[in-house]
Structure 1
Amino acid sequence: MMVDHLRAEFKQIPMTEHLSIDEQMVPFKGASGLKQYIPKKTVKWGYKLFVLADHKGMIYDFFPYEGKKHPVRREGVPDLGASANSVLILAESIPENKNHKLYIDNWFTSKPLVEHLATRGIWICGTIQARRSWFIIQG
């Protein structure tokens, strides 16, 4: 499959220290069961991808949204729910204990996610919603 081939090729690129995970829309208005409509995005119709990239836009890993995302099937990786599981899947590409900094938005940020990735030496900076302001990590 072409997506699997592209992911494998992107994973060969050496990563920078500062990384980001977010959603990205690939414009598409044709007929497809995977097409999404997100009214708050600039590109409202298309295929939604979850992307791991650096500050210059270099993509290191991605996967298309296909509905509910299942947990990572590796021992020691918890099931943290759909949004955090998306981060965990992409974080599998990040080398452990190299002090990578990962930037995410409030849809992904959760205390269990931050705690789990910290055990792998991946540090998170994420926005949170005011009603979820539950912690500050000091290094």
Structure 2
Amino acid sequence: MKKLIHAAIIAAVSATPTLAANVNLVDGDTIKIGRKTIRIVEIDTPETYKPRCEAELVKGLAAKQRLRQLLDAGNVTYEPTGTDRYRRTLAHVFADGVNVGSVLIAEGYALPYRPGADAKLERLRAWCGPDAQL
């Protein structure tokens, strides 16, 4: 019963539209709404905090800028799917009903997230070139 109440509260809060002006960007795949940090699930964008090459930084900043544009299109909502090891909420994020993660992938700003070192290296090489190493 306690889990059902908790799930209902989370669903109600996340379904409440947030104005884009109240959403802060951490990077191209992570946002903050109030004190809650939300990692957009199923995508990965290039790093801006500790990029491994200049091209990754440039691409990461472009992804962050595009995410801002998408979020500015309308009310922001999210559907939580869990939490990660950093205690961030994993969620599908929507702006005016549009899944921003799907748009970022379709437009080439993000890659689909797959776990594991091989997948991580593949993403890094997409951003930094074929000779990039972890």
| Fold shared per TM-score above 0.5 | no
TM-score, normalising length from structure 1? 0.27
**Which structure has more RCO (C-alpha within 8 Å, separation ≥ 6)?**
2
